[in-house]
């Protein structure tokens, strides 16, 4: 059996030496990778570490491990996926975070869970949880998770979810709030919904990606939270550009609804854009797009409401029916 050699690094992620895994001490800084994999339903796959391993029985990232000497972070991530889950999948870089233990690069990807074959020497079991449940459980019961995963989840939260605009019960700004805390406590924040209507009277709907809240559900054309320091109009214009590739600067004249959502306490301002041009959606946030007649959407919502986000359901009559 070959001895694994790893690079020892400094605070700047520069290699200062090599050691075998058997020689590594707690004072050494090493390179690590974590991969957050999401299944075909948008749930995050977690592994429970096997008996006899360091941090046995704790919940960890879908895939995690050391970077071997001379190996890139990306190559290490691909290798670890093969070793731990026996799969190959497209992954993309999310963020880099560091600590006294070294430096870790975080990746994310979507996999077919039916193709996963867990390495039983390393993994006791696999769980699939909605992202909001992962956030909630990590706050309520952090002892269930490895410290490395908790550090990675914090980096994922900060990188993928900007500080939100925390408001009072009458929509006055009082500061910022983290995404997971907002969801856990149903704190009031600001959101925008953009409706896009073409000259045929069809409305554009998106199917949300696997990486976001309410994964793979149908939603209004472009939606999102208002980042701290943004106005509603600035957020709506930004989300339209980020998600659909459309340049347009919204004003108050484009507003078709303003109020507070019943199911989550969020204040929402809705905008309507009449548009017949090209749509180029961001696959990180949007899985697919389609134009629908309002009557078709109404029928789908009646027969299969589970296919839509709560917000899309709640706002349909207020924003689509009144503007068809």
Question: The pTM is what?
Answer: 0.72
Q: List % helix, strand, coil for the chain (3-state, nearest 5).
A: 30, 35, 35
What residues contact 60, with CB distance under 8 A and at least 6 apart?
A: 46, 47, 48, 49, 145, 146, 148, 149
Please give the pLDDT value at position 214. Answer: 87
Residue 291 near residue 309, CB atoms below 8 Å: no
**Quick one: pLDDT band at residue 158, thresholds 50, 70, 90?**
confident
What is the pLDDT, as a whole number, of residue 211?
81
Residue 161: predicted pLDDT: 78
> What number is the average pLDDT over the span 119-143?
91
> What pLDDT is recorded for position 170?
94
Per-residue pLDDT at 43 exceeds 60: yes
pLDDT of residue 283: 83
pLDDT tens string 73-88: 999 999 999 999 999 9
Q: According to the model, what pLDDT value does residue 1 have?
A: 54
Whether the per-residue pLDDT at 64 is higher than 80: the answer is: yes
Work out whether strand 267-274 and strand 190-197 pair parallel, antiparallel, or are unpaired: parallel
DSSP string across 62-104: SEEEEPBTT--HHHHHHHHHHHHH-----EEEEEEEEETTEEE
In this predicted structure, which of 24-38, 47-61, 171-185, 200-214 has the lowest mean pLDDT? Answer: 171-185
Res 41: pLDDT: 84
> Mean of the per-residue pLDDT values for the chain?
93
What is the per-residue pLDDT across 294-318, written as a single tens digit (0 to 9) for each?
999 999 999 999 999 999 999 999 9
Structural domains in the chain, CATH included, are 5-160 (3.90.79.10), 164-323 (3.90.79.10)
Structure confidence by residue, pLDDT tens digits, 181-237: 888 888 999 999 999 999 999 999 999 988 888 889 999 999 999 988 899 999 999
Distance in angstroms (rounded) separating the CA atoms of residues 116 and 81: 10
DSSP state of 61: -
Q: Residue 236 has what pLDDT?
A: 97
Residue 101 has pLDDT above 60, yes or no: yes
Which of 113-117, 130-134, 215-219 shows the lowest per-residue confidence on average (mean pLDDT)?
130-134
- pLDDT the model gives residue 231: 94
């Amino acid at each position: 059996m070959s001895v694994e050699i790893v690079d020892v690094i400094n605070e700047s992620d520069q290699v200062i030496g090599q050691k075998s895994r058997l020689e590594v001490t707690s004072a050494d800084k090493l390179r690590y990778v974590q991969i957050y994999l999401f299944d075909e339903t948008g749930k995050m796959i977690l592994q429970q570490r096997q008996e006899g391993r360091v941090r046995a029985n704790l919940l960890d990232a879908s895939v995690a491990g050391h970077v071997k000497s001379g190996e890139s972070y990306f190559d290490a991530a691909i290798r670890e996926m093969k070793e731990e889950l026996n799969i190959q999948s497209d992954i993309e870089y999310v963020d880099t975070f560091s600590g006294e233990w070294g430096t870790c690069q975080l990746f994310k990807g979507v996999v077919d869970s039916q193709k996963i074959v867990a390495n039983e020497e390393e993994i006791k079991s696999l769980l699939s949880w909605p992202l909001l449940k992962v956030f909630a459980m990590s706050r309520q019961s952090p002892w269930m998770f490895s410290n490395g995963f908790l550090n990675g989840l914090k980096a994922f939260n900060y990188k993928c979810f900007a500080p939100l605009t925390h408001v009072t019960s009458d929509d006055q700004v009082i500061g910022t709030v983290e995404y997971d805390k907002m969801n856990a406590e149903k704190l009031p924040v600001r959101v925008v919904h953009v409706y896009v209507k073409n000259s045929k009277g069809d409305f554009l709907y998106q199917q949300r990606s696997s990486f976001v809240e309410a994964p793979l559900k149908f939603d209004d054309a472009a939606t999102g939270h208002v980042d701290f320091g943004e106005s509603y109009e600035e957020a709506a214009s930004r989300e339209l550009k980020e998600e659909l590739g459309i340049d347009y600067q919204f004003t108050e004249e484009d507003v078709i609804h303003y109020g507070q959502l019943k199911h989550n306490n969020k204040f929402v301002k809705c905008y309507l854009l009449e548009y017949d041009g090209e749509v180029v959606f961001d696959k990180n946030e949007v899985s697919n797009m389609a134009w629908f007649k309002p009557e078709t959407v109404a029928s789908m919502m009646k027969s299969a409401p589970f296919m839509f986000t709560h917000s899309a359901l709640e706002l349909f009559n207020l924003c689509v029916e009144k503007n068809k």
